[in-house]
Structure 1
Amino acid sequence: MRLTNTLSGYQRRWLMSDITAGLVVAALITPQAMAYALLAGMPPQAGLYAALLPVLAYALLGSSPILAVGPVAVIALMTFEALHNVATPGSAEYLSMASALALLTGLWLLLFYLIDLGRWTTFISHSVISAFTSATAILIVVSQLKYITGIPLPGGSSLWQTATHLSNDYPQWQPEAVAIALAALLLLYSWQWLIPKITCRLPLWLSSLLNKAGPLAAVAMGIAVVQAVTPTIATIGELPAGLPVLALPALTIDQWQTLLPAAAVIALIGYLSSLSVAEALAPLPDSTSAANAEPSTPPRLRTNQELLALGIANLAAAINQAFPVAGGFGRSVVNRAAGARTQLASIITVVLVALVCLFASRLFMDLPYAVLAVIIVSAVLPLISFSDARRAWHFQKSDGLVWLTTFTAVLAAGAVDGILLGMVLSLVLYLRRSSEPHIAEIGRVGDSDHFRNVKRHQVTTSTQVLMIRIDENLYFANGQYLEDVIRQRLQSGGHIRHVVLVGSAINHIDFSGFETLQHLLRELRKQHIQLHLAEVKGPVMDQLGKTNLLEELAPGQVFFTASEALRTLADC
């Protein structure tokens, strides 16, 4: 375990950029953290706690200089879904279980680190992640409608139940809550459009700070309205002053077991989403204008190191009375735009958030929940996108089906069950595709040594030699299919005396694949046809060399190339 990015090879000229980025992200994360705690069913201070030790842990161990770790909307919603049925949101038991969920998430991530899961970055398909993100964003928006309208809704209501409650109880909407929410939403979007035009002539650090201060402005507006008008709407009240007391959650064995599956899914989603953000925002080499200076190379993103860093960050969240954390896309974009060069920017953010916890807790006591809800909605609306579904469907119907199924399942059954269904469907469709791989009869192209599919190219073949190429590994799911294809081709007529299995695309053969070759060899011999192999890769030959197949194959041969096989056998 070693420190990365922050302390190693730091250059003094980066300091001002990191300080600026730390200030900007602190201004953004303070209201966001309280809002995401609300989404997770936690008190607002838990969101601030999630922006302390977890952020510091990642800053010291992470391999991305840009990734901003902390409370994230999607993970907050998954936390709520995992806990609201087993404990009352906001209760002491619920807070303890949220910390336990963070602890288990961290342990899962460390287990993934130990088994080197960082190399398996495509464990969940892009279609599943895209559909999950869009559907979860919709669920997040719907979950905040109770604060925007002022209508209490049952905890954990489905999309349909929430829509039904809102439509039936619309006369009970609180006009003050709706008005403040609309004002906050208008302020946020007008801030994004107007402020950059006003601040373009200011110094870069000040311009970045003001451009990203929209959530803080919405918070200030909401507090000012409550203090001036005193409307009858819910506010967060006074936050506990001071830093959290460090402690491990105490639960029963049954409670720990209940949380294990949800923690595993949260760990996977948190890791994959964080990794995708870190890769998308990876900095380019720093080319400097100084004549004698050399450009600096940004740190290389190490996928397995990210598992370690995120795992320790979640363990820190557990002892910090918080909930699971991950890398946030919005904050990471802001971090990079504000000029962050290393994770020192995150350490500065931690210091500023700690000061808020120590000295500014009373400032937020009149903050309306409706404003926090709007901050959440504005943060997740850009995540809703259907373009991936359209592109996946046009490219390959099965990928489009995975997207649609995952999206529908998340909306109907919740985030955890929905993404599990999407993962299972992806696996089933993959096994189906690989169980019926592309198998081609091939022939020689002209007088060359190149061989191509007889259905696609003008090639030369032999009436006595059938050359078959399987474009997939040979394993338990597709062995029978290979035998069926060869059997059908032999039944179509001709005087085939030799079958050559070209293994140029076979990288692995399992035991079932070996048995397929044995069975094929015996079946062909009954028909007085000899089986041969060609272009078998070294690792596959090593596997076959552990068996007696090569002895059984004689007088069949193992040819170095398909060209050699056809030249030799066509003359027999």
Structure 2
Amino acid sequence: MKRLLPDWLKHYRADKLSGDLTAGLIVTVMLIPQSLAYAMLAGLPPEIGLYASVLPLIAYALFGSSMTLAVGPVAVASLMTASALAPLAEQGSAQYIALAAQLSLLSGVMLLAFGMLRLGFLAYFLSHPVISGFISGSAILITVSQIKHLFGISSASPDVVGTLRDLITGLPQANPATTVIGLGTLVFLVMARKWLALWLQKLGLSASLAGLLGRLAPMAAVIASIAIVSGFNLAQDAGVRIVGNVPRGLPALQLIMPTSEGMAALWLPALLISLVGFVESVSVAQSLALKRQQKIVPDRELLGLGAANVASALSGGYPVTGGFARSVVNFAAGANTPLAGVVSALLMAVVIAAFTDLFYNLPQAVLSATIIVAVTSLIDVSTLKETWHYDRADAFSLLATLLGVVLLGVEAGVILGVALSLAALVWRSSHPHIAVVGRVPGTEHFRNIERHKVDTLPNLLALRVDESLFFANAALVQSKIETLVARDPNIRFVLLLCPAVNQIDSTALEALTQLQSSLQAKDIKFMLAEVKGPVMDRLQGTTLGQRLEGLIFLSAHDAFCYVGRQSPA
């Protein structure tokens, strides 16, 4: 039995308990309004968000590797769930709820399979600009979709442009009480995010405690708004839309297996939710782990998130992943181990079992304000500025992903961003940097003749290619060398330096063989230098390798000296 326990639990010490209990309580207070709000964002009844905040936390604690990652409903996964299920069923219907659980199940199974196959390196397949563009685009999409609830305006438009049009035309019919509550909550949360911690410090609280209390402002808004709506009977007398009845009691445990039609419709959204959620979770977990010199194991993270999503499906929830804001609060509150997440799960279970009646008069506008304040901080302008100045290709990938998510939808935006990133990668690889080099005087170092003062030999063309040679760039490299040779009739030696060449595929091998034959016909010797061991192993036994016997040098300096000896005095 002990072998089945996670390492953190095997070696648990009593001195860690107080931090875990405190963090578990504080995260629960933060998780309650978030789980209700994100369920609404996903198009699900509010209790589904609560259900997704119990078993997934325990499952992750058993299998995950992060000591402080807080798993549960998050904004981006909620948006992706709504985007995937909207064409398949009516929001809030029994079929929609069942599909959400099936989506979580498929996502969990995929993550578990990736973990068992040790595919943690998949975390690096989505570039940072694509992730940044996706999250920023999602944040804009979420913000636009929630503004209507701040004013009590109805809009059934599925796209951003239509939603904005409905908002503009519907503003004259906005509900006054809802508008006051919604905008008032929005202003309060924005002010609390910026200044509440500072005000609390001026009152004498420590910086860490003031920061934690500042992050709990959404719960204060929930309590205050419920009291106001209940006290003035605003739901009946003023038409304020409220959450309504939230069923009391823990969910029944069952797995709803998807049909073949459901599999066909859900596999791609499940895959995208899995990849995006995994990348987001690993980045959060790693950033927090570094602060304590801890280690994150990506393959374990796949297993932990996979188990969490299967557990969510089992308990009637929807896809979950690690949340940035909750994880930061969990860390700052003193969480030492995943027991903090188990404590949160147990407290959430108590809330579901006995206290859901308290949420009946919670205004939807307050949940929307909570979502808007949470997601607007995810709009990453700084990364766009940095990539625009450093690498325009990455900047275009970021912008394309952002605009794709906003205008075309979540799945299309991700696919577009990934496609552009791969296209940029292929383009860079197919246009490698090729430098004509010479020897730095008095050294054995070779540098670009356009950047440094170097010595050259009149009958030697020495080039360095800064990329592996493969089918996409082989012809370009061959053409570049032949063009430079044609310009100078004095060249009798061509030296190709390969310090950055990690592979030569069959197409590139054929191109180099043709190049050697062409140069030999002109009485020009073709030579290689600084060839890596694995590449050299593959060249041996080839026609090119046999022809270049004695003409492959350990260093550029050796080749330079060889040419000097071969040249007439």
- Superposition TM-score, scaled by structure 1 size: 0.93
**Which residue matches 2:223?**
220
- Paired amino acid for 1:84: A
Q: Does 1:167 align with 2:168?
A: yes
- Paired amino acid for 1:422: G
**Which residue matches 2:17?**
15
Structure 1 residue 275: Cα displacement:
0.9
**Which residue matches 1:565?**
559
In 1: Cα distance, 2:224 partner to 2:298 partner: 42
- Paired amino acid for 2:502: N
Q: Which moved more, 1:430-439 or 1:251-260?
A: 251-260
Encode CA deviations 1:450-506: one digit per residue, 9 max, x unaligned.
Answer: 111111111112222211111011111110110011011011123222211111111
Contact in 2 for aligned 1:87/1:93 (Cα 8 Å): yes
Relative to 1, partners in 2 of residues 1:13 and 1:111: Cα closer, same or farther, differing over 3 Å? Answer: same
In 1: Cα distance, 2:10 partner to 2:360 partner: 41
Task: Give the CA RMSD over aligned residues.
Answer: 2.0
Contact in 2 for aligned 1:445/1:452 (Cα 8 Å): yes
Q: Does 1:355 align with 2:356?
A: no
- Paired amino acid for 2:520: R
Normalized per residue, the structure richer in helix is 2
**Residue correspondence of structure 1 range 357-376 to structure 2 within 5 A:** 357-376=352-371
Structure 1 residue 190: Cα displacement:
4.2
Structure 2: unaligned runs, 5 residues or longer: none
**Which residue matches 1:452?**
447
Aligned length: 558
Encode CA deviations 1:232-289: one digit per residue, 9 max, x unaligned.
Answer: 122111211111111112332022111111111111100111111111222534xxxx
Structure 1 residue 107: Cα displacement:
2.1
Q: Secondary structure at the match of 1:457?
A: coil
Q: Does 1:87 align with 2:89?
A: yes
Q: Secondary structure at the match of 1:245?
A: coil
Q: Secondary structure at the match of 1:532?
A: strand
**Which residue matches 2:254?**
247
In 1: Cα distance, 2:207 partner to 2:460 partner: 73
In 1: Cα distance, 2:213 partner to 2:495 partner: 71
**Which residue matches 1:334?**
329
Contact in 1 for aligned 2:212/2:329 (Cα 8 Å): no
Contact in 1 for aligned 2:212/2:332 (Cα 8 Å): no
Relative to 1, partners in 2 of residues 1:546 and 1:264: Cα closer, same or farther, differing over 3 Å? Answer: farther
Contact in 2 for aligned 1:125/1:426 (Cα 8 Å): yes
Q: Does 1:258 align with 2:261?
A: no
Relative to 1, partners in 2 of residues 1:549 and 1:111: Cα closer, same or farther, differing over 3 Å? Answer: farther
Q: Which moved more, 1:537-546 or 1:57-66?
A: 537-546
Contact in 2 for aligned 1:128/1:422 (Cα 8 Å): yes
Q: Does 1:186 align with 2:187?
A: yes
In 1: Cα distance, 2:10 partner to 2:563 partner: 64
In 1: Cα distance, 2:348 partner to 2:127 partner: 36
Relative to 1, partners in 2 of residues 1:208 and 1:511: Cα closer, same or farther, differing over 3 Å? Answer: same
Q: Does 1:309 align with 2:317?
A: no
Q: Which moved more, 1:232-241 or 1:46-55?
A: 232-241
Contact in 1 for aligned 2:129/2:394 (Cα 8 Å): yes
Contact in 1 for aligned 2:196/2:214 (Cα 8 Å): no
Contact in 2 for aligned 1:5/1:64 (Cα 8 Å): no
- Paired amino acid for 1:562: A
Structure 1: unaligned runs, 5 residues or longer: 286-297
In 1: Cα distance, 2:493 partner to 2:426 partner: 30
Q: Secondary structure at the match of 1:531?
A: strand
Structure 1 residue 5: Cα displacement:
5.6
- Paired amino acid for 2:243: I
> Residue 30 of structure 1 is aligned with which of 9, 22, 32?
32
- Superposition TM-score, scaled by structure 2 size: 0.94
**Which residue matches 1:230?**
233
**Which residue matches 1:72?**
74
Relative to 1, partners in 2 of residues 1:434 and 1:166: Cα closer, same or farther, differing over 3 Å? Answer: same
Q: Does 1:270 align with 2:271?
A: no
Relative to 1, partners in 2 of residues 1:394 and 1:179: Cα closer, same or farther, differing over 3 Å? Answer: same
**Residue correspondence of structure 1 range 289-300 to structure 2 within 5 A:** 298-300=293-295
**Which residue matches 2:104?**
102
